[in-house]
Amino acid sequence: MTFRALKFIGPFVLMIYTILSRDLSRFILIYSIFLIGFSQSFYVIFNACARAHSKKTGNVNILDTPFEAIMRLFIMTIGEFTIFYRSLNACEEKLMQVIGKFLFIIFELFVSIMQFNLLIAMMTRTYDTISRTSMEWKRQPKTRLIALLKYSRPIGTDKTKRSFVVAKKTTVSC
The neighbouring-strand residues paired with 163 are 153
* pTM to 2 decimal places: 0.64
Q: Which of 117, 122, 128, 129 is nearest to 22 (CA)?
A: 122
Cβ neighbour number for residue 126 with a 10 Å cutoff: 17
Q: Give the pLDDT of residue 23.
A: 82
Cβ neighbour number for residue 6 with a 10 Å cutoff: 12
Q: Contact, 91 vs 97, CB < 8 A?
A: yes
Q: How far is 76 from 104, CA to CA, in rounded Å?
A: 10
Mean pLDDT, consecutive 10-residue stretches, the chain (174 aa), reads 56 77 86 92 88 68 86 87 84 87 89 84 82 65 68 63 59 67
Q: Which of 59, 45, 43 is nearest to 93 (CA)?
A: 45
Please spell the DSSP secondary structure of 94-125, one letter per residue: HHHHHHHHHHHHHHIIIIIIIIHHHHHHHHHH
Enumerate the domain spans of the chain: 2-136
Q: Contact, 97 vs 89, CB < 8 A?
A: yes
Q: Which helix (H) or strand (E) holds 159?
A: strand 158-164
